[in-house]
Amino acid sequence: MYQAYGWHTVPLTVEVIPEKARPWLVCPDNLSVHLRQQPLPHRLALWRQGIEVLPIHEQLLLRQALPGDAWVRQIYHVLGSEVVMYGRTVIPEAIYLQHQDVLDNLGTKPIGENFLYKEGWSRSQFTFGCVTPAGLLHEAATQGGPKRDSGALEDALLPARRSTFTSRSGTVLLTEVFLPAIYTCEPVKALLLA
């Protein structure tokens, strides 16, 4: 059965992106580093990872031929007991096979600082958007991972950003969806200056 992807590109200035989310959306570097600087304890929860057939939307973004198999890693950033962000990393199967040892052993370590930034990948500019209810991204961001009261999230548009990392090996897609609990976090000064 087909499920909508649920991504809608929007300018950062539109009303659907709350003002409190904007410093996090425009953070130019690794969010894990900034989340660890929050007063509450930070942890990364691995929801699932493995080879999947990609939704057509992601195949097109990666310019991948059909059928589009890729290694997909889905994680949650948790501050205290609140999930503040969902992340989805899509690595085409050929790239995954080149780096399988590293990727299979990440566990709950962030992929950015333990693979992408170490291996010399370059990051594109961000595309900002929101994910809509009933879409694949929204469902993963609100229903999977650590237990929480997701009732209020079921109908909410969620702010998001995505970017690609490129190297001689190819292109990797990273999508980050921000949950309302992030609005209670104080952006670190570096974010406010970005």
Q: How far apart are the first and last CA of the chain?
A: 42
Residue 63 lies in a domain: yes
Residue 2 lies in a domain: no
CATH number for the domain that contains residue 57:
3.40.1410.10
Residue 94 lies in a domain: yes
Residue 194 lies in a domain: no
Residue 81 lies in a domain: yes
Q: What six digits make up the tokens of 171?
A: 């292109």
Residue 109 lies in a domain: yes
Of 46-50, 75-79, 136-140, 155-159, the range with the lowest mean pLDDT is: 155-159
Contact 93, 69 (CB under 8 A): yes
Does pTM surpass 0.85?
yes
Structural domain tally of the chain?
A: 1
Q: What is the DSSP string of 77-103?
A: EEETTEEEEEEEEEEEHHHHHHTHHHH
Residue range(s) defining the domain that contains residue 58: 7-188
Spatial neighbors of 128 by CB under 8 A, at least 6 apart, are 9, 10, 11, 12, 17, 25, 159, 160, 161
Residue 1 lies in a domain: no
Residue 20 lies in a domain: yes
pLDDT in tens, 86-95: 999 999 999 9
- Give yes or no for residue 116 having a pLDDT over 60: yes
pLDDT in tens, 133-189: 878 899 899 876 655 554 567 678 899 999 999 888 889 999 999 998 888 887 665
